[in-house]
Amino acid sequence: MAACGSNMDRGIVISDEWCGYSVDLFTFPSHYSGDLDCVLIPHGLILDRAERLARNIMDDLGDHDIVVLCVLKGGYQFCADLVDRIKALSRNSNRTIPMRVHFIRLRSYLNDQSTEDLQIVGAEDLSFLSGKNVLIVEAIVGTGKTMKTLLQHVEAFRPKLIKVAGLLVKRVASSLACVPDYTGFEIPDRFVVGYALDYNEFFRDLDHICVISEKGKLKYKI
């Protein structure tokens, strides 16, 4: 079983001092002009890191059937790219990973604040996970409360094994040390958008992971 804090591989660590790249160096939808402070992680670097994580997963789980549990909505792009790279490795290797993909949705944010009201949609009956190897794919882990709750929910269905792949892990003071088994990047405690991560459903159409500006927060606040 997976457990919070079971793996201390921090991935690529982005320091608090890193101010990011100027958005003027990259292409992005013009309707977000002025809404972004910086590009924190360019799209190409995300894809390269996803390929490395796919190799790590292949090394650990090769020749085992797995169920990929994609956490929506923010995790859909990372999950799609990660699964594509695992499939490519399976096609060009003596080892293979037969995969099924299932989708669930977590909702806990209002504007840029996490709330205590966590909703798990699409996870009412996960009995098919019983005895299976499960790979949970999540875009971002902050305090760890959401991931801990999800792990407890999945464990109730008695899978054989649970691993977690998280693209981003935030360094936050109230962290429960819920570290994914496969981590893409450790980032400062800043509100990021893009690569399917949103702010009130906006910014999912950005390719890069960016830091939203205060102007952007006000513009799209509900």
Q: Specify the pTM.
A: 0.88
What local confidence, expressed as pLDDT, does residue 215 receive? 95
What local confidence, expressed as pLDDT, does residue 109 receive? 52
Domain positions in the chain are 34-108+115-215
Sign of CA dihedral 221, 18, 81, 98: negative
Q: For each successive 10 residues of the chain (222 residues), what is the average pLDDT?
A: 56 94 94 96 98 94 90 94 94 86 76 58 77 94 85 91 95 75 95 95 96 95 90
Q: Per-residue pLDDT tens for 91-111?
A: 888 888 889 999 988 766 555
* Nearest Cα residue to 217 out of 135, 113, 120: 113
Class of domain 34-108+115-215: alpha beta
Across the chain, mean pLDDT equals: 88
What local confidence, expressed as pLDDT, does residue 85 receive? 95
Cα separation, 187 vs 140, whole angstroms: 10
What local confidence, expressed as pLDDT, does residue 117 receive? 59
Burial class (CB in 10 A: 0-12, 13-18, 19+), 96: middle
